Amino acid sequence: MSDSIYNKHIFICTNQRAAGAVRKSCGEAHGLDVVNAFKKKLKEKNIAVPIRAQKAGCLDICDFGQTIVIYPEGTFYVGVELNDIDEIIEEHILNNRIVERLRFQKIN
């Protein structure tokens, strides 16, 4: 049994690198817009179990676009756009199915 107070915890990268940085960052892409959209859509759905979406610092896979991670599974999604949020909520949050097209694939 988990000690978490949330059934799902969504961390959304909002890291903002300095102008001219070599690596891009999610904050530049729209991290806070994604945070706000997740919060709004979760509230609209009035989900009965405790879920939290919040901003996070760098998740260290910036090269793949806007990044989020959902716990307790530890599933990383990359290249997340505002129009992907409904699918992530419906599939991953409500039905415990990974959205494969957005899932980060670690390359060994």
Q: Per-domain residue ranges for the chain?
A: 8-95
- What mean pLDDT do residues 48-67 have? 90
Identify which has the larger pLDDT, 91 or 18.
Answer: 91
* CA 5 – CA 9 distance, rounded (Å): 9
What is the CATH T-level fold of the domain 8-95, as seen in this structure?
A: Glutaredoxin (3.40.30)
For residue 25, is pLDDT > 80? no
Closest CA to 64 of 34, 106, 98: 106
Order of all β-strands in the sheet with 51-56: 51-56, 8-13, 68-71, 75-77
In this prediction, residue 49 carries a pLDDT of: 87
For residue 93, is pLDDT > 70? yes
pTM exceeds 0.85 = yes
In this prediction, residue 36 carries a pLDDT of: 94
- Centroid of chain to Cα 10: 5
